[in-house]
Amino acid sequence: MLNVVLILCILGIIFPPLFYKEGDRGSCAFAEDTALAAPIAALTHSIWGGVIKSVSWADPAKGTKSEIVVKDAAGKTIHILVTSTTTFWDVDAKALMPNKIAAKSKVNVIYLTTPEGINIGKSIKILK
């Protein structure tokens, strides 16, 4: 009996079309195609020598998120979402606490823009 089961298993691996019809996925434990979907594509941008116009920190009671508004060298204002993965650095490459970020600070910012148009901060460096 064991030999018959072993032979059927080997045949199922070598000749899978013998055991299911075209288009049938069978009962194999393979990942579904949807599980292999591509990650969300985000474009990386940077602002060199920008100036922070305003800083607002999250307020769970109001349902607001942390955000900084930066004016780049060309005068364009960009809203950047601050998340738990956003890093803050001083000019000496030492980590800063977010509460040290203030308006009118000169900064370099690296951020991602999602397909929905949301700018998510990755790295913010204060330039003195």
Q: Note whether 80 and 68 are within 8 A (CB).
A: yes
Provide the domain count of the chain: 2
pLDDT tens-place string over residues 63-113: 999 999 999 999 999 999 999 999 999 989 899 988 888 999 999 999 999
> The pTM is what?
0.65
Output the pLDDT for position 42.
77
Q: Would you place residue 41 in the very low, low, confident or very high pLDDT band (cuts 50, 70, 90)?
A: confident
Residue 79 maps to which CATH number? 2.40.50.320
Task: Count other C-beta atoms under 10 Å from residue 60's C-beta.
Answer: 7
Domain membership flag for residue 87: yes
The residue segments making up the domain with residue 21 are 2-33
d(CA 59, CA 57): 7
Q: Are residues 70 and 11 in the same domain?
A: no
d(CA 16, CA 28): 11
Q: Would you place residue 61 in the very low, low, confident or very high pLDDT band (cuts 50, 70, 90)?
A: very high
Q: Are residues 66 and 117 in the same domain?
A: yes
Q: Note whether 92 and 100 are within 8 A (CB).
A: no
Domain membership flag for residue 53: yes
- What's the whole-number average pLDDT of the chain? 79
Q: Note whether 44 and 110 are within 8 A (CB).
A: yes
Domain membership flag for residue 38: no
Please, is 75 exposed, middle or buried when counting C-beta atoms within 10 Å of its C-beta (0-12, 13-18, 19+)?
A: exposed
Residues in the chain: 128
* Inter-CA distances, 101 with 52, 71, 76, Å: 9, 15, 20
Q: Are residues 21 and 57 in the same domain?
A: no
